[in-house]
Amino acid sequence: MTSRASGPFAVLVTGGAGYIGSHAVLALLDAGWKVSVIDNLVTGFREAVDRRARFHEGDIADEALVAHILAEDGIGAIMHFAGSVVVPESVADPLKYYRNNTANSRTLIESAVRGGVRHFIFSSTAATYGIPDEIPVREDMPTRPINPYGMSKLMTEAMLADVAAAHPINYCALRYFNVAGADPQGRTGQSTAGATHLIKVAVEAALGKRSEVAIFGTDYSTPDGTGVRDYIHVADLADAHLHALDTLIALPDRSHIMNCGYGRGYSVLEVLDSVERMSGNSIVRRMEPRRAGDPDALTADNARILATTPWRPRLADLDTIVAHALAWERKLGERD
């Protein structure tokens, strides 16, 4: 772990009991930060939050609670992970997404401004781009979300830009590509039941928790015909948040939008091959038609985060990502 000195304030992590948030909590604590977590435990898990963090069960829309936490815990920065993340659900229930991801973020940002919070890091997504004209996609390329999930996040980015221009707060919106893997030390991982993300689904199949993996489309314009994505290790992503925070502190008048990905893609078949290789088990593959709204290939141009921060990928190898996802899945199996 990097050894950054703790700042003069504590960091509030919203959604810190969730998959990515719980990894950010570990990264912050390991680097010496004081950390508070707020999570309503609707999709998060209390046991995912490291004991060294202060835990507050509640909602980010609860202004009185958030004001209390900001003052009592000495919060100077917020990392905002809380929200809803299932793309098809956002199509079926858009208002849930505009409430949880947009309206509640608005309330939280207002609480942050009122409470004198100076730095705000926001979990954004590659879904803000929609289907890009070219890949790897750069941050200055058009943002044309094709689902309410992506739009709900893009609207929050827009609010942050306006708020940072008007108030003494700066922000970094991190646009995540395909997040996967688990803490290399096995302390946390992805625990949500009914996962739909490829690597999670594939490791469940390899460990006998599901019978097969559907391959959604084999006729894409990619080298092997299956969809290509930029998978980023969740621990590298958590580390990117630490560097984003350092950057916001160093230059308080500057805000940033940065892709979080490695800039290279793997196909569905390459992912399944990796899971078979790392688990030693074979996976039953079922060819299915394309899933609605899936681009052929989506990879990040990560030049901006590399130029703006000292962040460097450390766990970019696909087999490493898969090995850590498998280790966590085995651990979950022991608990079941």
Q: Catalytic site residues?
A: 149
In the complex with ligand UFG, the residue whose CB is nearer, 74 or 142, is 142
3-state secondary structure 270-336: HHHHHHHHHHCCCCCEEEECCCCCCCCEECECCHHHHHHCCCCCCCCCHHHHHHHHHHHHHHHHHHC
Q: Distance of alpha carbon 192 from its chain centroid, rounded?
A: 14
In the complex with ligand UFG, the residue whose CB is nearer, 117 or 154, is 154
Least CB distance to ligand UFG at residue 169 (A): 26
8 A C-beta contact, residue 211 and residue 205: yes
Backbone angles phi, psi at 170, to 5 degrees: -120, 165
For residue 23, give the H/E element and its range. helix 19-30
Least CB distance to ligand UFG at residue 298 (A): 6
8 A C-beta contact, residue 176 and residue 150: no
Residue 170, classed as helix, strand or coil, is strand
What is the rounded radius of gyration, in angstroms, for the C-alpha atoms of the chain?
A: 19
Whole-angstrom distance, CA of residue 320 vs CA of residue 304: 25
Residue 15, classed as helix, strand or coil, is coil
Residues 6+ apart with CB under 8 A from 166: none
Least CB distance to ligand UFG at residue 94 (A): 14
In the complex with ligand UFG, the residue whose CB is nearer, 224 or 319, is 224
Residue with tokens 């609670």: 65
Least CB distance to ligand UFG at residue 40 (A): 20
Q: Which residues bind ligand UFG (CB under 6 A)?
A: 85, 87, 125-127, 149, 178, 196-198, 201, 213-216, 227, 229, 268, 291, 294, 298
In the complex with ligand UFG, the residue whose CB is nearer, 57 or 288, is 288
Least CB distance to ligand UFG at residue 221 (A): 13
Whole-angstrom distance, CA of residue 231 vs CA of residue 298: 10
In the complex with ligand UFG, the residue whose CB is nearer, 42 or 287, is 287
Least CB distance to ligand UFG at residue 127 (A): 3
Question: Closest-CB residue for ligand UFG?
Answer: 227
In the complex with ligand UFG, the residue whose CB is nearer, 85 or 275, is 85
